[in-house]
Amino acid sequence: MFWLTSILVLLHLTRGNSPCFGRSLQISPSRTQFFKRESLTLCCGADERIMTNSKSACSHKSHECNITLAGVHHSGSYWCDSNSGELGEAVNITVTEGSVILGSPVHPVPEGSPVTLRCLTSHKSSKQLVVVTPINQSCNFSKDGRLIGVGLTGEMSFAAVNRSYEGLYTCTFSGAESPGSWLAVRATSSPTSLPPPTSLPPSHPHHLLPLAYAGPPLLLMVLLGVVGGCCWRRRRKEAEEAASEDVIYADVVQNKMKNKALHRSDHETTCSSGQSPRLPPIRLPDPAIYSLLG
């Protein structure tokens, strides 16, 4: 168990230090410009092969290539080719016989990321090996052939790059100018430009068929609801007006009945106050009856 754990840890550390893990072309040291007789390593994914248009012997062999003594003939474009035919992003490598090179990012950097450009020089060690060192002195930096600034310590840093920073950069030290390196900036899509979560992906138009079929019935239902609501409000208003008229008519009838009752009570009051009512005429008996009575 101990040996298995040790092997797993060793593999993890090896992966962390190796440039050969990833889907895009990896370069160690991580730059695109190299001095002649310098050593570098190129790597692609495990199921990919290194491709190039240069005269390098790295092409078509494997996913990893070690160049021990770089020459001018190693300059060119390098990319990764998978077994399925997918081509990776090409990287331009330059091998120079000059005394100054520019250290810049290998791959496009995301928009808003910091970037540092470095001016580098070289010297030979006691074993005739090329040793690359940063220039810790004043250097001029140019973009597309125009001077953009002076790096007092041999560096020029950008806090947050955007698409306007793209271009061909060079550095100059003691009259010697480095080859040009293209700085690419990858635009990042903002959250406001993303489609809402409820929207349908444009690559699947058949999802829109249910909406196309359900659209007209829904619209008809909405129209019927609007018309029905208007009719209901109108009928309610007419009913309220009719009820109001009935109330007014009932008040008029009630007032007439009250007036009749008052008139009748006034007539009864007049009779009780001393006015003699009309009585029917008294019929007298016939004369014959008077003679019998004497």
Amino acid at the residue 225:
G
Give me the count of residues in the chain.
294
Q: Picking from 134-143, 164-173, 217-226, which range would have the lowest pLDDT averaged per residue?
A: 217-226
Q: For 152-161, how does the pLDDT look when each residue is reduced to its tens digit (9 = 90+)? A: 999 999 999 9
In 3D space, the residue among 57, 65, 52 whose CA is nearest the CA of residue 19 turns out to be 65
Same fold, 18-97 and 98-187: yes
Classify domain 18-97 at the CATH class level: mainly beta
Q: What is the share, in percent, of the chain residues with pLDDT greater than 70?
A: 64
Tokens of 14: 């090896």
Instruction: State both tokens at 155.
Output: 């560096």
Q: How confident is the model at residue 162 (pLDDT cuts 50, 70, 90)?
A: very high
**Which numeric CATH code is attached to 98-187?**
2.60.40.10
- Domain residues of the chain, as ranges? 18-97, 98-187
Between residues 235 and 10, the one the model is more confident about: 235
SS3 35: strand
Cα 70 from Cα 58, distance rounded (Å): 12
The per-residue pLDDT for range 26-43, each reduced to its tens digit, is 999 999 999 999 999 999
Specify whether the CB–CB gap between 155 and 149 falls below 8 A: no
Highest-confidence segment of 39-53, 57-71, 82-96, 101-115: 101-115
Helices within the chain (DSSP H only): 2-17, 209-272, 287-292
Specify the higher pLDDT residue, 26 or 233.
26
Neighbouring-strand partners of residue 150? 140
